[in-house]
């Protein structure tokens, strides 16, 4: 009995840790043989032929081929004497993401057009470390966002309790504040680590006029020559500057303060006996916070209920704390590089394109849906001159995000996402901004910026004919046994992987495909091809998700990526996968081929 038990354990152990030998799929062997005329060695001449004929890199030279080959050989055979590939060398090269990526790694879009011609990587409540209700406010998520290439940082400004300083926090919540100076200094230090193109700081201003000079003083002292000052005089009707003109500049964007505000002070409206505890300096009172920290869950529930009752569909960029007769000093107003505007009650009036310099308009995701449904072409026309920012609805307390495609289809430049959040919508955002070298600015398709002879613009509701067909071959995957524990997917056997591919874009292009399940293998080989017909390939994203099949419970996540179709390089490419939050795995990758017809 003991011997049988030992034998069973040995079988389980062997199954669990067995790794199939990695071998090139038939297409890879065939490509090698075609380019070498069935020779056992691939010379630089042969490799150049592969780059041109199979990878579509028509400008590749012999020197390019030799340089790549030497980089590969130094990694796998550092003592090589002859610059030539064996089939194994060639196969190793194909899996190297840094040398054989599916999309270009450098900026290649025209960066000289006005700002409104670009989709811009945009954060929402950039200072929050977690959820929207009671997480900490900190400069850390701002730094993380900038390192990922985010170019628009949002800060909510409120007076501190003494009303002599400025805090950054999410108003009417239990979030703990962070000082504005700390946020500004972090932005200055990290703004251009990932990208040289401008960082825009959108300010949701809830300050009193006497505090705004402090904002101006902080901004000018901390940012110095980085700070962009808008032009004045005869050229105020000019277009927005271009990302190229604004390299290494920081731009402030907010709604110019209202002077002689006719409405009552928000402070005064919060002073009555019936006022809930949340109406104090934009956050819960110290008493309410302390009671929640002491474990009074009923108070916390009541606070949350009050929070949810507030209308967050429109983020208030008005000056809510101004006293009649008080004016904001001119130095603050002069620092506003992009003027923001609030949507009017009638969307049709809001979306009228006027003369003069463009502005930035903020819309909630619900308002965007209404505008797209009722005034779609007006919205497209508006974004040709102005910047539109779309932000998540206030009920997304756990920092989830909405799908960005509807906003992009209508030309909205700033789709604000909770970068500290999670989920498929954020994967799409990461996918879009892998474009153009990850610099945070993606040139909008020409059709979103042009008009026909009848002055008509692109209509997202119109179904267009198929423009391109994309064929995707998924050969195989590898790296899970290096990035995951041996028992992560299954305690007693190797995993059963399958891949799903989703095409997201305009409604006519949306579809999904699925491979077969490869059982009991850490290195799955699918060798399956899928075809996607695209009417608007310029806005399409290919989302790939790998899962491990489990008959008894929910299939296990094993990696994801999202790739902009307009950026895909043809040929056989190495596609790295990422975790649920978008961080790239160290070793997990797919070998795929992309062909356009």
Question: Which residues carry out catalysis?
Answer: 124, 170
Q: In what order do the strands lie in the sheet with 571-578?
A: 511-514, 497-504, 541-548, 556-564, 571-578, 584-596, 468-478, 525-534
Two tokens, residue 355: 């003369």
Cβ atoms of residues 166 and 215 within 8 Å? yes
Picking from 472, 439, 463, the residue whose alpha carbon sits closest to that of residue 543 is: 472
Q: Would you say 142 and 126 are in contact if contact means Cβ atoms under 8 Å apart?
A: yes
199 forms beta bridges with 250
Side-chain half-sphere of 155: how many Cα atoms within 13 Å? 28
Place of tokens 């000289």: 112
Q: Please tell me the distance from the alpha carbon of residue 416 to that of residue 405, in angstroms, as a whole number.
A: 12
- The label of the residue with tokens 């040709």 reads 384
Residues 569/575/579/582 CA torsion (nearest 10 deg): -20
Instruction: Give the whole-angstrom CA distance, residue 288 versus residue 542.
Output: 47
Question: Do the strands 118-123 and 199-205 form a parallel or antiparallel pair, or are they unpaired?
Answer: unpaired
* Chain-centroid distance, C-alpha 142: 14
Closest CA to 417 of 139, 205, 105, 141: 141
Q: Parallel, antiparallel, or unpaired: how do β-strands 584-596 and 571-578 relate?
A: antiparallel
**DSSP of 389-403, one letter per residue?**
EEE--TT-TT-----
User: In 3D, which of 517, 533, 513, 514 has the Cα closest to residue 525?
Assistant: 517
**Neighbour-count burial for 7-41, b at 16+ CB within 10 Å, e otherwise:** eeeeeeeeeeeeeeeeebbebbeebbeebbeeeee
End-to-end CA distance of the chain: 63
Rama region for 330: left / alpha / beta (φ>0; ψ in -120 to 50; rest): alpha
Residue pair 571/56 in contact by the 8 Å Cβ criterion: yes
Quote the CA–CA distance of 521 and 21 in Å, as a whole number.
10
Under 8 Å between Cβ of 109 and 243: no
Q: DSSP letters of 41-105? A: SB-HHHHHHHHHHTT--TT--HHHHHHHHHHHHHHH-TT--S--B-HHHHHHHHT-TTTS-SS--
How many other β-carbons are positioned within 10 Å of the β-carbon of residue 2?
6
Q: How many CB atoms lie within 10 A of CB 553?
A: 6
Alpha-carbon distance 557 to 274, whole Å? 49
Rounded Cα distance between 578 and 588, Å, is 8
């Amino acid at each position: 009995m003991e011997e049988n038990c030992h034998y069973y354990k040995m079988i389980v152990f062997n199954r669990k840790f067995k790794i199939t030998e990695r071998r090139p799929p038939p297409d890879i062997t065939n490509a090698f043989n075609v380019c070498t005329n069935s020779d056992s060695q691939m010379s630089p001449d042969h490799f150049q032929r592969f780059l041109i004929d199979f990878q579509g890199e028509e400008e590749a030279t012999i020197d390019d081929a030799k340089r790549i080959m030497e980089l590969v050989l130094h990694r796998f055979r550092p003592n090589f004497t002859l610059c030539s590939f064996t089939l194994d060398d060639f196969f190793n090269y194909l899996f190297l993401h840094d040398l054989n990526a599916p999309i270009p790694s450098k900026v290649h879009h025209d960066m000289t057009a006005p700002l409104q011609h670009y989709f811009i990587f945009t954060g929402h409540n950039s200072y929050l470390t977690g959820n929207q209700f009671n997480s900490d406010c900190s400069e850390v998520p701002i730094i993380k966002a900038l390192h990922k290439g985010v170019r628009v940082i949002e800060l909510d400004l409120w007076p501190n309790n003494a009303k002599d300083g400025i805090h950054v926090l999410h108003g009417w919540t239990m979030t703990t504040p962070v000082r504005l100076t700390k946020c500004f200094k972090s932005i200055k230090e990290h703004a251009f680590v990932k990208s040289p193109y401008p960082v825009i700081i959108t300010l949701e201003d809830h300050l009193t006029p006497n505090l705004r000079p402090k904002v101006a003083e902080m901004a000018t002292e901390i940012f110095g020559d980085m700070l962009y000052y808008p032009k004045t005089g005869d050229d105020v009707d000019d277009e927005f500057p271009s990302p190229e003109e604004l390299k290494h500049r920081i731009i402030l964007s907010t709604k110019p303060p209202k002077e002689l505000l006719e409405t009552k002070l928000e402070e005064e409206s919060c002073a009555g006996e019936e006022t809930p505890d949340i109406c104090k300096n934009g956050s819960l009172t110290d008493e309410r916070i302390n009671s929640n920290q002491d474990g009074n869950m009923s108070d916390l529930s009541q606070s949350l209920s009050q929070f949810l009752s507030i209308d967050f569909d429109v983020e208030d960029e008005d000056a809510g704390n101004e006293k009649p007769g008080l004016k904001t000093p001119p130095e603050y107003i002069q620092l506003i590089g992009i003027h923001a505007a609030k949507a009017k009650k009638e969307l049709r009036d809001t979306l009228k394109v006027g003369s003069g310099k463009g502005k930035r308009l903020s819309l909630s995701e619900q308002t965007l849906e209404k505008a797209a449904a009722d005034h779609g072409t007006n919205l497209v026309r508006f974004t040709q001159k102005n910047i539109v920012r779309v932000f998540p609805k206030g009920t997304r307390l756990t920092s989830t995000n909405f799908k960005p495609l509807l906003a992009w289809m209508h030309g909205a430049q700033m789709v604000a996402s909770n970068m500290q959040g999670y989920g498929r919508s954020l994967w799409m955002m990461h996918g879009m901004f892998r474009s153009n070298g990850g610099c945070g600015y993606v040139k909008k398709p020409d059709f979103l910026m042009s008009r026909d002879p009848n002055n008509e613009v692109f209509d997202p509701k119109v179904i267009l004919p198929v423009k391109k067909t994309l064929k995707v071959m998924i050969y195989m995957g590898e790296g899970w046994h290096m990035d995951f524990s041996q028992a992560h997917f299954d305690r007693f056997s190797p995993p059963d992987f399958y891949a799903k591919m989703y095409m997201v874009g305009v409604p006519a292009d949306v579809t999904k495909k699925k491979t077969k399940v490869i059982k009991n293998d850490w290195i799955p080989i699918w060798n399956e091809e899928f075809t996607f017909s695209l009417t608007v390939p310029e806005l399409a994203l290919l989302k790939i998700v790998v899962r491990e099949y489990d008959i008894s419970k929910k299939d296990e996540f094993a990696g994801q990526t999202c790739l902009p179709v307009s950026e895909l390089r043809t040929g056989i490419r190495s596609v790295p996968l990422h975790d649920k939050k978008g961080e790239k795995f160290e070793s997990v990758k797919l070998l795929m081929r992309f062909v356009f017809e």
